[in-house]
Amino acid sequence: MTLSLVQYLLGAFSGSLVGLSLGLFGGGGSILAVPLMVYLVGVSSPHMAIGTSAFAVAANAAGNLVTHARLGNVKWRCAVVYSGAGIVGALAGSTVGKMIDGEQLLFAFALLMIGVGVMMFRSRGHTGDADVECNRENAPKVLGYGAGTGAFSGFFGIGGGFLIVPSLVASTGMPVLKAIGTSLVAIAAFGLTTSLNYALSGYVDWPLALVFVAGGLAGGVGGAFVARWLSGRKGALNVAFAGLIMLVAIYMLVKSGQAFLA
């Protein structure tokens, strides 16, 4: 795939938006990456956009993880248990996803986003237990949620944070801010698994991925500090997270519907 200089600059700009949202919302980066690749940068193949953005989101998540870890927002034991199960799911899901028409994937992705946005908005009053840890009692639940979200993440070719954050809250009872920090470990693991699977089929544009990552690292640090500020306002982070999901989902439904009618 050959891209122009303007497209690479738009890729770097898109990466900065993804990095900012990854630091702010955890899963927001994975939500924005695919539509930005397709509708702003102009990547013509949805599968190429999915494979490239999966790698970029994984790298940006790893970079933003450093900031959240320093702020004490990562539950490491939960992250390892959850991510281990999710990698297996991501490998299976991404294998199936490559077999599905790209426009149909984008349309289904948007519908899923709306459902998750509604769920996050309904849980806006959840405060959680900051001292919760993964143990023998909740390990089966954490493993189950991890495998399930990994499969969804791999199938749609995304980091999956918008699924990971609410499922970490549901399976452990941790606060949203802790779930956001912990989710970055899983996002990096799921995204890397998915991108390598797509790369085997030639669906990753490595130069575009690198400029996307560079932009994302520049935008990520500020998002983590804003997230910490918002977490002190009851429900504010949940509402902002749900609102972002709904807006992007509606845009994708409109664009995908136009593609079906064309």
Proportion of the chain above pLDDT 70, given as a percent = 81
Residue 206 CB burial class (10 angstroms; 0-12, 13-18, ≥19): exposed
The per-residue pLDDT for 128 is 56
47 three-class SS: helix
Question: Could you tell me the pLDDT band of residue 23, with boundaries at 50, 70 and 90?
Answer: low
* Alpha carbon separation from 192 to 27, 50, 103, 196, 204 (Å, rounded): 15, 12, 23, 6, 12
Of the CA atoms within 13 Å of residue 20, those in its CB half-sphere come to 9
Structure-block tokens of residue 240: 């902002």
Query: Which residues lie below 8 Å from residue 122, measured CB to CB, with a gap of 6+?
Result: none
- pLDDT digits 0-9 by tens, 192-229: 998 999 999 999 999 999 999 888 877 777 676 776 67
Sign of CA dihedral 51, 53, 58, 63: positive
Supply the mean pLDDT for the chain. Answer: 81
Structure-block tokens of residue 163: 């699924």
Give the mean model confidence (pLDDT) for residues 101-107: 76
Of 25, 86, 46, 62, nearest in space to 239 by CA: 25
Of 9, 21, 55, 14, nearest in space to 35 by CA: 14
CA 107-195-109 angle, 5° bins? 15
Q: CA–CA separation, 71 vs 49, rounded Å?
A: 32
Of 51, 15, 34, 46, nearest in space to 204 by CA: 51
**38-52, 66-80, 102-116: which has the minimum mean pLDDT?**
102-116
Q: CA–CA separation, 92 vs 195, rounded Å?
A: 13
The pTM of the full predicted model, rounded to 2 decimals, is: 0.76
Give the mean model confidence (pLDDT) for residues 2-19: 87
Q: CA–CA separation, 258 vs 183, rounded Å?
A: 33
Q: CA–CA separation, 177 vs 187, rounded Å?
A: 15
Sole residue written with tokens 């992705």: 109
pLDDT value at 252 more than 60: yes
The per-residue pLDDT for 85 is 93
The per-residue pLDDT for 113 is 74
Structure-block tokens of residue 233: 């306002």
Mean pLDDT comparison of 25-34, 64-73, 163-172, 199-208, highest-scoring range: 199-208
Domain ranges of the chain: 5-261
Q: Are 153 and 194 in contact (CB under 8 A)?
A: yes
Query: Which residues lie below 8 Å from residue 109, measured CB to CB, with a gap of 6+?
Result: 34, 156, 158, 252
- pLDDT digits 0-9 by tens, 70-92: 888 898 999 999 999 999 999 99
Q: CA–CA separation, 31 vs 98, rounded Å?
A: 19
Give the mean model confidence (pLDDT) for residues 152-174: 80
The per-residue pLDDT for 209 is 92
Q: CA–CA separation, 189 vs 86, rounded Å?
A: 8
The better pLDDT of the pair 107, 183 is held by 183
- pLDDT digits 0-9 by tens, 127-151: 555 567 777 888 888 999 999 989 9
